């Protein structure tokens, strides 16, 4: 698969041959769904908690005698059915993460890249560098390129000026190639890869 390389000024910078095994697969929605669910579950804090029956500090004296009152039999005011009692089956502090095989995660990333390539929303640029860290200039540049919602993947390191200028722009995410992930790819309309990022991905999946 051949794709044109552009610059941040919108001019042509040649072309690149993309690996069909990475960018030419038929996207599978089930794999993408499993990976997104895995990522969102993994990043949940899981710090939610309530007081259950054992956490409530109330008298354990029997409320009233066992028989003869015509009421149900109760032994403690900390029971969930009473006002001020513990919560029944409430959330506890726990890890929401679950396992997903490494090969499935790698395959899901390939399918996410292929989905962008198939939808013609994959753009390859020669490099991402900026002379200034001013956001206003970066917004104008993105407007000319038509990048209103984009994930931009750089090489091993992102240019400092470019990263500072782009981080305040809404719906624009900038990551080094090590941070590329399925969720961020799918949540933005356009995927922008530098030539260095393409080379790194092909080396990664070789």
Mean pLDDT over residues 27-54, rounded? 95
pLDDT band at 48 (very low <50, low <70, confident <90, very high): very high
User: What is the per-residue pLDDT for 93?
Assistant: 95
Residue 11's pLDDT band, with cuts at 50, 70 and 90, is confident
* Mean pLDDT along residues 9-28: 90
pLDDT band at 52 (very low <50, low <70, confident <90, very high): very high
| Predicted local confidence at residue 1, as pLDDT | 82
Residue pLDDT, tens place only, 141-195: 899 999 999 999 998 899 899 999 998 899 999 999 999 999 999 999 999 999 9
pLDDT for 115 equals: 96
Q: Which domains does the chain have, with CATH numbers?
A: 2-44+97-204 (3.40.1370.10), 50-90 (no CATH)
For position 96, what pLDDT does the model report? Answer: 96
Amino acid 206: pLDDT: 83
The 10s digit of each residue's pLDDT in 70-122 is 999 998 999 999 999 999 999 999 999 999 999 999 999 999 999 999 999 99
The answer on pLDDT for 18 being more than 90 is yes
Task: Tell me, letter by letter, the H, E, C secondary structure of the chain.
Answer: CEEEEECCCCCEEEEEECCHHHHCCCCCHHHHHHHHHHHHHHCCCCCCCCCCHHHCCCCCCCCCCCCCCCCCCCCCCCCCCCCCCCCCCCCCCCCCCCCCCHHHHHHHHHHHHHHHHHCCCEEEECCCCCCCCCHHHHHHHHHHHCCCCEEEECCCCCCHHHHHHHCCCCCEEEECHHHCCHHHHHHCCEEEEEHHHHHHHHHHCC
């Amino acid at each position: 698969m051949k794709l044109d390389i552009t610059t941040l000024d919108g001019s042509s910078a040649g072309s690149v041959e993309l690996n069909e095994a990475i960018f030419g697969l038929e996207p599978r929605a089930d794999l993408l769904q499993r990976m997104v669910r895995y990522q969102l579950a993994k990043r949940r804090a899981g710090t939610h908690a309530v007081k259950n029956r054992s956490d409530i500090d109330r008298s354990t004296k029997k409320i009233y005698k066992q028989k003869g009152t015509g009421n149900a039999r109760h032994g403690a005011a900390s029971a969930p059915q009473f006002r001020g009692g513990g919560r029944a089956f409430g959330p506890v502090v726990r890890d929401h993460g679950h396992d997903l095989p490494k090969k499935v995660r790698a395959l899901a990333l390939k399918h996410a890249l292929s989905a962008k390539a198939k939808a013609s929303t994959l753009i390859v640029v020669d490099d991402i560098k900026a002379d200034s860290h001013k956001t206003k200039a970066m917004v104008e540049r993105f407007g000319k390129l038509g990048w209103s919602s984009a994930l931009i993947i750089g090489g091993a390191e992102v240019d400092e000026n470019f990263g500072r200028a782009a981080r305040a722009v809404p719906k624009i995410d900038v990551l080094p190639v090590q941070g590329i992930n399925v969720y961020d790819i799918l949540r933005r309309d356009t995927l922008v890869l530098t030539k260095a990022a393409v080379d790194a991905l092909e080396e990664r999946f070789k």
